[in-house]
Structure 1
Amino acid sequence: MKKLQEQAIEVLNNNWTGSFSIPCANLYPFQWFWDSGLIAIGFAHFDMPKAEKEIETLLDAQWENGFIPHIIFHTENDSYFPGASFHRSDLHPLASKKYKSTGMTQPPVTGFVLEEMYKISNQKEASLKYIASVIDKVYFNHEYFYKNRDPQNEGLVYIYHNWESGTDNSPIWDDIWETMNPPEYTFERRDTTHVDAAQRPSKREYDHYLHIIEIAKEHNYSDEKIAELSPFLVQDPLFNAMLIKSNESLITLYKLIGGNIDKIEQLKKWQEKSKESFNNKLFDDELGAYIHYDLRNEKPLRYLSSSSFSPLFANIPTKEKADKMIKVMIEKFGGEHQYLCASFDPTSALFNPKKYWRGPVWINLNWMLFNGLNNYGYTDIAERVKQDTISLIKNNGFYEYFDSRKEMHTNGKAGYGGNNFSWSAALLIDLLEK
């Protein structure tokens, strides 16, 4: 394992730019929100200054309303589409003046990342001092969500684009695409010049993605207008679980720092409302797990995905619900010929084990699942997730995602997407340390 760990460290160091990390060379040449957070966890184990700088650079791009964009374009680079000139973050009056970015966000992982960094640190006092210098920005980000992304005041925030979910082309969104008929856009994609097109979203899917951004741009990325007009408006269990987990971490960290009574009280209020709505609205008794809710069309999206189990990581389900979820996960996702945990239900006709978020295993979701299973005392299954994750990387390398079918892993060709992928390396380091 020592060799694997050394390789992971090398991947992270190679993807470090001096002030932030790129997810991988060529395919993703900028800074991504949730990638940066998860990468910092890996750095914390061997280079805390880099972990701290990673988060600092990310938070430096925060908008004046607390929003943090999903991509920050630190450099001019035409190897990625859609880039800064398409997204036009400057249309929003409170956008960062310092950095060009997208007008979308991603799962808010920063709160729990800071707590992970603190747990890993062997210089607790210095780490707490660092955390005290950045934590209010993270709190401000959470405040942005509850003020601007919760139109029904339920404690559940919406995403207005599939890219905000982090699970870009999941079959969950197919129902929403059927309600839309976007124009055919003419554009030159760059991702398929680096990676086999069979592993990426289709051209027609991209038309939908771009159309939603065009609507947001037309209204200068106004949250109010987006809530009113975006054809895509979803309450996502993964996104909301990350927010709830990060709230929990902020409460812990603020208590360690001392003071901040008002912020702690507010975080507790958010938590109470969010968890109650989450369990009442997003848990599907019949399916035995959490699902997405389409707020635009007021209907549940009744599919099982790795996101369905992410609430375990945030301590959201009761023990009874957790038992139900794990039974479903093992029955549908955990067969003897499957690596845990596929990103989409392997028993579904929509399952595609090679195509991005339509079936492959992703290391970040496995890392959450490992921690969540341990939270609830399922240490045996947690260990299986850990060993599956190690096997995938050992057999194939540090890829972006992996085929969930065991029979595909005979010749090291079942890792897909970008190679030498930062969060795969970072989270493997963390798993090996646990």
Structure 2
Amino acid sequence: MERKLREKAKKVLNANYNEEGFTIPCEGLYPFQWKWDSGFIAIGFAHFDMFKAKKEVTTLLDAQWENGFIPHIVFHNESDSYFPGPDFHKSELHPLASKKYKTTGITQPPVLGFVLQELYRIANDKIDVLNFIKTEIDKVYNNHKYFYENRDPNNEGLVYIYHNWESGTDNSPIWDSVWETMEKDTPHYKFERRDTTHVDASQRPSSREYDYYLHIIEIAKANNYDDVKIAELSPFLIQDPLFNAMLIKSNQALIDLYKIIGNNDDKIKTLKDWQSKSKPAFNDKLFDKELGAYVHYDLRNERPIRMITSSSFSPLFGGIPSQERAGVLVNTLKAKFGGDDKYLCASFDPENENFNPKKYWRGPVWVNLNWLLYYGLMNYGYDDLALRVKNDTIELITKCGFYEYFDPRKEIYKKECSGYGGNNFSWTAALLIDLLDN
């Protein structure tokens, strides 16, 4: 059974791989290269085709801006099946944007540091992969440097995102309170949705939500994607626990890899300085003792967003909480998300009135967050709960196939397959391979 599943996963990845050296998330719905998708995809490829794993990373980093910024989409190819495309984003407005590729002017969670470490862990030929890492690691370091120099206006070790797409959790209920503050200033844009021609509209963000998404980008474009102006003017400035946990995890991965490579004491010192500031700030500012979970902080409106999501548990992967606090997180996870009638882990608090088990990041299970949770739980010795996350993930894919996201309610699977969004989704396949091989 697992062998067949693994072979199917390999076929999904190979089918979505483009000979130019990148893998699309899935056909039709997502026809370009996405930043954090590529990171997870590379981990999957590393188990059976290290050439493609390395190529995935180098192709993405080839589109890095001169200031270290890595965009969330690289438009390698022409396609009319996705909106908003390169003509809307106009990344060339920034003077240091990629001259080789059209890209977006927003980013995604910084996963590449730990992705390089995962490739080294998985590799049979350690020397070959280490030589590869030597060619790419400074680019990832420069990406981290960009964040701390341009996205931390209070110099507190926590970086902000200025668009919900930068979080990776696009339409989470977390953002609803921000949209309320933007309502009167956000116009109704005229545009043609492309996503809803591929996926049921009930599973996607609303058109009014897209107005907010586009409005934030219009503000950034009006200021040539200048970070100083964005920090001053954007109505959306969020310190996101998932984003910052990925940065902290990747910082540590770079430290470990630079030690193996040698002769990088200056960079190791800088990375350690970032860590010594970021971890305490993360724990002091983003942990909500009453909720027993990490939460988002609205930097623009100076208030925590007191809701629990799957992102709330990502600090386990980043090694951020103490062992005692990890226990608090696990109790919250089991109490709110871990009932016998649910698959782990819903993307939003199932007890909250805004929970929607079918609608993108408003409730469904996502394999990439489960993958982070699995390794995070293992880090802290919660092996039994980690195994449940792994088995739930495998069971969902076995029942439905390689979908983008899944309904967390077990009962519904008695009647129908409840995988949603894009099918034959690349990171679902890639991370399943890693879970099966570990």
Secondary structure of the residue aligned to 2:74 is strand
- Given the alignment of the two structures, is residue 397 of structure 1 paired with residue 391 of structure 2, yes or no? no
Partner of 1:288: 292
* Aligned amino acid, residue 10 of structure 1: K
- Given the alignment of the two structures, is residue 323 of structure 1 paired with residue 327 of structure 2, yes or no? yes
Partner of 1:139: 141
Secondary structure of the residue aligned to 1:357 is helix
- CA shift for structure 1 position 274: 0.3
Instruction: Within 5 Å, give how 1:398-413 maps onto structure 2.
Output: 398-413=402-417
- Given the alignment of the two structures, is residue 88 of structure 1 paired with residue 125 of structure 2, yes or no? no
- Given the alignment of the two structures, is residue 265 of structure 1 paired with residue 269 of structure 2, yes or no? yes
Q: Distance in 2 between matches of 1:206 and 1:63?
A: 26
Residue deviations 1:341-381 (CA, integer Å, cap 9, x gap): 00000000000000000000000000000000000000000
Q: Distance in 2 between matches of 1:409 and 1:39?
A: 27
Count residues with an aligned counterpart. 434
* Aligned amino acid, residue 4 of structure 1: L
- CA shift for structure 1 position 409: 1.4
Residue deviations 1:58-92 (CA, integer Å, cap 9, x gap): 00000000000000000111110000000000000
Partner of 2:9: 8
Instruction: Within 5 Å, give how 1:15-414 maps onto structure 2.
Output: 15-18=16-19, 19-181=21-183, 182-414=186-418
- CA shift for structure 1 position 413: 2.1
Residue deviations 1:262-291 (CA, integer Å, cap 9, x gap): 000000000110001000000000000100
* Aligned amino acid, residue 134 of structure 2: A
Q: Distance in 1 between matches of 2:158 and 2:226?
A: 19
- CA shift for structure 1 position 408: 1.4
Q: Distance in 2 between matches of 1:336 and 1:53?
A: 42
Q: Distance in 2 between matches of 1:115 and 1:37?
A: 11
* Aligned amino acid, residue 296 of structure 1: R
Q: Distance in 1 between matches of 2:413 and 2:309?
A: 22
Q: Distance in 2 between matches of 1:253 and 1:260?
A: 10
Q: Distance in 1 between matches of 2:274 and 2:414?
A: 48
Q: Distance in 1 between matches of 2:304 and 2:426?
A: 34
- CA shift for structure 1 position 412: 4.8
Secondary structure of the residue aligned to 1:169 is coil
Q: Is the 8 A contact 1:395 1:412 kept in 2?
A: no
User: How big is the alpha-carbon RMSD for the aligned residues of Structure 1 and Structure 2?
Assistant: 0.5
Identity over the aligned pairs, expressed in percent? Answer: 71
Q: Distance in 2 between matches of 1:409 and 1:343?
A: 18
Q: Distance in 2 between matches of 1:411 and 1:101?
A: 42
* Aligned amino acid, residue 52 of structure 2: K
Q: Distance in 2 between matches of 1:66 and 1:294?
A: 25
Q: Distance in 2 between matches of 1:266 and 1:36?
A: 26
Partner of 2:421: 417
Q: Is the 8 A contact 1:111 1:246 kept in 2?
A: yes
Structure 1 residue runs without a partner (length 5+): none
Secondary structure of the residue aligned to 2:414 is coil
Q: Distance in 1 between matches of 2:136 and 2:236?
A: 32
* Aligned amino acid, residue 353 of structure 2: A
Q: Distance in 2 between matches of 1:331 and 1:318?
A: 20
